[in-house]
Amino acid sequence: MVHHRPAGDYLFVISLILVQMLLAEAPAAAAPAAAPVAAPASAPVAAFATGPAASPASAGSRLRRWYLEYRNPAIHFLLGALLSAYTLFFFKSSSLLVSFGFMGVLVALLVANESARFKALGLPFKFALLGLCYLAFFAYVVPVLIGQTGLAVFLLSMAVGCVPLAAVAFLVARERKARILVPLACVLIFFLTFYLFRIIPPVPLSIPFMGVYHGVERTDAGYRLTHERPFWRIWHNGDQRFRAQDGDKVHVYFRIFSPSRFSDQVLMGWYRYEGGPKGRGWVLQDTIPIKIVGGREEGFRGYGVKTNYQPGKWKVEVETTDRREIGRIYFSVESVSTPLGLEARSFAAELD
């Protein structure tokens, strides 16, 4: 997880180095044809002078040479640390089937950042990576501070994320502005486009667990989850093969992580598969709004209940109010005839 203070420090250090590199290019661009000036005769003596008077200048020269040699590797080291942290955090908040494209871009940039050819690219590419890190940072921080997600919150986070580099561009000379603003605009378009297609994971929310059960009951010790799953079907969470008899209700239970002071609403969409490719595919049957409150270490616990259903393939998707998917689960419903007599069903219970 990305902690606010270290990430902010990394962004500040990278910004300082890149701005210094940008400003250092100005004299060379202003006087490219300047004739070389012969060094005065005393220059060699000064260069190799010894004694207390020469020590500060020599130390400063060594420090400058060290800075010039290692500033580029330092930039990409810090960018790599930020990209790896953001990739991990977006991965935890994503449903890979939906966010595969966005996660693929982050992973590709993380790998490319380690290559010598990528490190040798000019300042616009470095400012583009820095802009991506700023936008990713505030895409997480702003919803945490406000305590909810949504279109307005996302647009606000993008606007705040553009402020640092836009402020730097405002202060530099006009001929240098494009080297900052064009890469930043490209990254901003990338984020807005992926948001439009609902591909960006809904940070800071994530669902570590979802399951299908015959019964969900809240007790003092936690939630009691009832299922008929055989002991060997360990890859299922509860009754993902739901054997339904008359009167059975389908319960979908989930844990959703959200930061403290976070209070928002999520939507639980129930879909039934009605054939394809000429069929209707996944058809929305019902949507249940659920209020969530953050702060619990194991995540907020909630569930939805479906009483009116038909046999077939089903899925439940949990989304934010702006329709970004947090998680999903697939299951099937089989109609089973009620046995004669008083034959009991074999239920097991778990406590969460």
- pLDDT digit string (tens) for 257-296? 887 778 888 999 999 999 877 778 899 999 999 988 876 7
Give the C-alpha separation, 286 to 77, whole Å.
Answer: 48
The per-residue pLDDT for 1 is 44
| 269 closest CA partner among 98, 89, 92, 91 | 98
Instruction: Please determine, for residue 206, whether its predicted confidence score (pLDDT) is greater than 60.
Output: yes
Mean pLDDT of 44-69: 62
pLDDT band at residue 171 under the 50/70/90 scheme = confident
For the chain, domain boundaries: 4-196, 207-351
| 212 closest CA partner among 292, 281, 309, 289 | 309
Q: Please state the pTM of the whole predicted model.
A: 0.78
- For the stretch 237-263, pLDDT in tens is 999 999 998 889 999 999 988 877 788
The per-residue pLDDT for 97 is 66
The per-residue pLDDT for 259 is 79
Q: Position of tokens 């400063």?
A: 60
The per-residue pLDDT for 304 is 93
Q: For all residues of the chain together, what is the average pLDDT?
A: 83
Reduced to 3 states (helix: H, G, I; strand: E, B; else coil), residue 217 is strand
Give the tokens for residue 97: 């089937």
Instruction: Please determine, for residue 119, whether its predicted confidence score (pLDDT) is greater than 60.
Output: yes
- CATH architecture for segment(s) 207-351: Sandwich (2.60)
Q: Which residues contact 120 (CB under 8 A, 6 or more apart)?
A: none
pLDDT band at residue 54 under the 50/70/90 scheme = very low
Give the C-alpha separation, 344 to 97, whole Å.
Answer: 40
